[in-house]
Structure 1
């Protein structure tokens, strides 16, 4: 062989601890905390408070999308809901996705148009699809 491999090359300057090498990881964690973790904790706290405030007469939406009126709130984490006349079911509080207070749209009332999120007023995707 004309070219011999260099097995004994010295590794240059692999010395001490350098904070600059860890700085990107710290920065990524800070960004994740403020953009993902903190808002999720805030939403979970608001949802827990909303579920604990459920009372008789409230209109709720379950996680499965069923809308009903609360008939009875039991102490063991169960809520009795009337889905239609004479149709009552027991659901676990944790499955409540949304609480609509009295006076808002119920199962037989038409829902109010959403103020935002549809994108119709801003020329969003839904307004373009409807044309």
Structure 2
């Protein structure tokens, strides 16, 4: 008699599993894809004169953008390094101009 009561719960398990996958997608995968898209757009819009920060924390100004996906970065006046475009983390000027919110 106890074994007959569990037969109707199978459909609910599939619905619950589907909801869990949907929630996982909404909170984990979708934001990462959105951030990757923004980073790709940011890298595509880089131009000469932009002040940037690399993934390694090097601050510099873009001097030249090459067709092979690299760029010349001026880190000091007259001192240049060749960097991959994909190693750029953020725009330094946007970070400097960001308003500071006071701590309450």
Q: TM-score range by the shorter chain?
A: 0.7 to 0.9
Kindly indicate which of the two structures has a greater share of residues assigned to strand. Answer: 2
* Alignment of 1:89 onto 2:63: no
Unaligned 5+ residue runs, structure 1?
1-10, 124-131
Q: TM-score, normalised by structure 1?
A: 0.67
- Root mean square deviation, CA, Å: 2.5
Post-superposition offset of 1:15: 5.6
2:52 to 60, 83, 98: 60
Structure number, greater radius of gyration: 1
Report which structure shows greater RCO (CA 8 Å, sep ≥6): 2
Conserved? CA contact 1:80–1:89, under 8 Å: yes
Q: Which residue of 1 aligns with 2:39?
A: 47
| Count of matched residue pairs | 103
Kindly indicate which of the two structures has a greater share of residues assigned to helix. Answer: 2
Change (3 A) 1:22 1:86: same
Unaligned 5+ residue runs, structure 2?
none
